Every structure is written in structure tokens, then in C-alpha cells.
């Protein structure tokens, strides 16, 4: 695997490998062949792709039907349309009926930048958390993405994977092994813990490295497994931290900020919590990715400034 890779390409290669290994996997798209980068799969298995057209509800319902017939069904389309347009089908056909459907939310967060709020997925995690019976993951880098997808294909039952829309470099060593439920510690520190998920983990690591170079003591925790989540382990990682900062390209309500707030409150931690992301009642600004992240203070410079101010 190259040093920097697009998550959709990793997804497609995982599909190819799974079918070659004997998994009866069928991708379902909603006229999203370009978004899903599915062409190499179709070249290998021309009769295995189902394209329902621009009809997200039909896509999810079809995937549930395929799963009920014994197949591993994988929907592949843009996260904002998967979450918003097929909300009821995900809730009823997939989660409530416990069908073996893997939902890939492509180009999540503000990946679509200038296309603005209609194309931003800043509520996907909160929506999926509101449903019962679905695992939720947000990979941060290629090696983690590959391992999460492989886990999802092996695992029986509903899975949602939040997939970023840009090629990302590695954050973990080659010996990294993803364990469902476990956060991973990327930087050690004792004054501020930055908890992040998905592609903004890169921003958190860059911020921490600049602060560490300046002699400040900052930890970075990658929370790629939203459900399941070992909350006791996360609480232990945060225990004794004077400050905790959460970073997400998502609304601060219902996403990582809420999860960490729950852990801090329920475990009686004394940390002061600061949540960075899309504020209550707002939308992500329309613009390219750097502008949007700067506007939300979730770029590396914004995160570093928040941490510096917290440490005085």
C-alpha cells in the first residue's frame, strides 16, 4: 500500500480481495460509480455490481434484500445522501431487521467543500448513533481503513463506515492492528489530550507535534471505533488530564464531542472539556477544505491555539 491513498480505492480493493477469497459480496450504488471508484471491481466481476440509479432509499432497501438472500451487501455512495435520503431504510431495513449490510459513507464531513451544506455530512455519526444495532467506524489513515473494512466484511450485521474524500497518508506503523472498540494513542502527553476521529486526526497530530516541539505536553487519541467503544479504556486514557479537546468535522452534538462528554461525566473525571467542530445550530462554511477547517478551528493551527490558550 502506498504512503498516501484514497479510502474509496482501498474499499474497492478490499471488495475484490473478499470476492476472490469466496465472500459472496455485492456492492450496491446509487449512480455513484464515480464517487465509489468502483470501476476496477466491475472489471473483475462485471455481473456483481447493482446500480439502482439516483435512488438512495432503493439502494438501501435493495442491499437489505440481498443480505436476506445470504449475500454480504455493501452500499457505496456519498455520506450526505446516504444518511439524509435513506434514513428510514437504514433504521428499519438494516438496523431493526439486523441485515448483513455494510454502509460506506463516502466523501464524509466537508469533503465536498464549496458545494456547501447540501453536500456536507456533518450529522452522520449522530444519526447512526441514534439507531440501535449498528457498528460505527471512522478510519483515519490507509492501514486503519483497510483493517476496518476487512473487519466489517467478516462481521455479521449492520456496519457504517465514515469515509473521507481525499487521499491521506499513514498515521500508524506497519505493525498496527485495529481492535474494534479500542482508541489508539498516537502521541503521549499529560496536560492536554486531543481526541479526534477520521481525517482530522491528521490535523490533531500536526498540532500536537508543533506544541511538543515548543515544549508543551500534549497527547493525541484516535477514536476510530465509535460503536463499539471501550469507554472504560478511553476514560483511563483521559484520567488525570487537566484538559481534553475533541476535534471532529461534524456537529459537536451527537458526535465525538458528545461521546467524550459522556465518558467524562459518567466516570467522574475532572478534566475541562473543549469541543471543536460544527457548533450547535450551525452548518459548516462553504469553501475549500482548508477554509472550512480554519473557520471551525479544526485545522492544525486552530487546534494548537486552543491548546496553548488552555495551558496558559
For 15-60, how does the pLDDT look when each residue is reduced to its tens digit (9 = 90+)? 999 999 999 999 999 999 999 999 999 999 999 999 999 999 999 9
Domains 7-162 and 184-311 share a fold: yes
- Residue ranges, the chain, pLDDT below 70: 1-2
Where do the domains of the chain lie? Answer: 7-162, 184-311
In angstroms, the CA 66 to CA 77 distance is: 17
DSSP E strands in 127-279: the ranges are 135-137, 159-162, 167-169, 184-187, 192-196, 218-222, 225-227, 243-251, 272-278
* Whole-prediction pTM: 0.96
Please check whether residue 129 is in contact with residue 254, taking contact to mean a CB–CB distance below 8 angstroms.
Answer: yes
pLDDT at res. 2: 46
pLDDT at res. 277: 97
Strands of the sheet with 184-187, listed across from one edge:
184-187, 218-222, 192-196, 243-251, 272-278
pLDDT at res. 113: 87
C-alpha cell at 198: 477520521
Q: What is the pLDDT of residues 191-219, one digit of tens each?
A: 999 999 999 999 999 999 999 999 999 99
Q: Which helix (H) or strand (E) holds 23?
A: none
Q: Which CATH number fits domain 184-311: 3.30.70.120, 3.40.50.920, 3.10.180.10, 3.40.50.1370?
A: 3.40.50.920
pLDDT at res. 1: 42
Number of neighbouring beta carbons within 10 Å of residue 129: 17
pLDDT at res. 95: 98
Classify domain 7-162 by CATH architecture. Answer: 3-Layer(aba) Sandwich (3.40)
Amino acid at each position: 500500500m502506498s504512503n498516501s491513498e484514497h479510502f474509496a480505492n482501498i474499499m474497492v480493493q478490499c471488495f475484490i480481495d473478499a470476492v476472490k477469497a469466496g465472500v459472496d459480496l455485492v456492492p450496491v450504488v446509487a449512480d455513484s460509480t464515480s464517487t465509489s471508484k468502483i470501476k476496477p471491481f466491475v472489471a473483475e466481476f462485471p455481473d456483481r455490481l447493482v446500480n439502482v440509479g439516483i435512488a438512495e432509499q432503493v439502494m438501501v432497501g435493495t442491499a437489505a434484500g440481498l443480505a436476506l438472500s445470504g449475500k454480504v451487501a455493501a452500499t457505496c455512495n456519498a455520506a450526505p445522501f446516504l444518511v439524509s435520503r435513506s434514513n428510514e431504510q437504514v433504521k428499519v431495513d438494516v438496523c431493526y431487521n439486523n441485515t448483513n449490510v455494510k454502509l460506506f459513507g463516502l466523501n464524509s464531513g466537508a469533503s465536498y467543500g464549496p458545494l456547501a451544506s447540501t453536500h456536507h455530512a456533518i450529522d452522520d455519526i449522530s444519526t447512526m448513533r441514534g439507531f440501535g444495532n449498528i457498528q460505527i467506524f471512522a478510519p483515519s489513515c490507509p492501514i486503519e481503513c483497510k483493517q476496518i473494512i476487512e473487519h466489517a466484511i467478516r462481521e455479521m450485521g449492520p456496519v457504517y463506515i465514515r469515509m473521507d474524500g481525499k487521499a491521506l497518508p499513514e498515521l500508524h506503523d506497519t505493525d498496527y492492528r485495529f481492535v474494534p472498540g479500542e482508541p489508539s494513542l498516537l502521541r503521549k502527553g499529560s496536560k492536554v489530550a486531543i481526541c479526534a476521529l477520521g481525517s482530522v486526526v491528521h490535523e490533531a497530530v500536526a498540532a500536537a507535534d508543533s506544541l511538543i516541539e515548543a515544549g508543551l505536553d500534549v497527547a493525541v487519541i484516535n477514536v476510530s471505533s465509535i460503536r463499539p467503544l471501550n469507554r472504560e479504556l478511553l476514560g483511563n486514557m483521559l484520567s488525570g488530564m487537566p484538559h481534553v479537546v475533541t476535534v471532529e468535522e461534524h456537529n459537536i452534538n451527537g458526535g465525538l464531542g458528545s461521546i467524550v462528554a459522556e465518558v467524562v461525566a459518567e466516570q467522574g473525571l475532572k478534566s475541562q472539556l473543549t469541543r471543536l467542530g460544527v457548533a450547535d445550530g450551525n452548518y459548516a462554511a462553504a469553501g475549500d477544505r482548508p477554509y472550512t477547517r480554519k473557520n471551525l478551528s479544526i485545522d492544525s493551527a486552530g487546534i494548537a491555539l486552543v491548546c496553548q490558550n488552555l495551558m496558559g
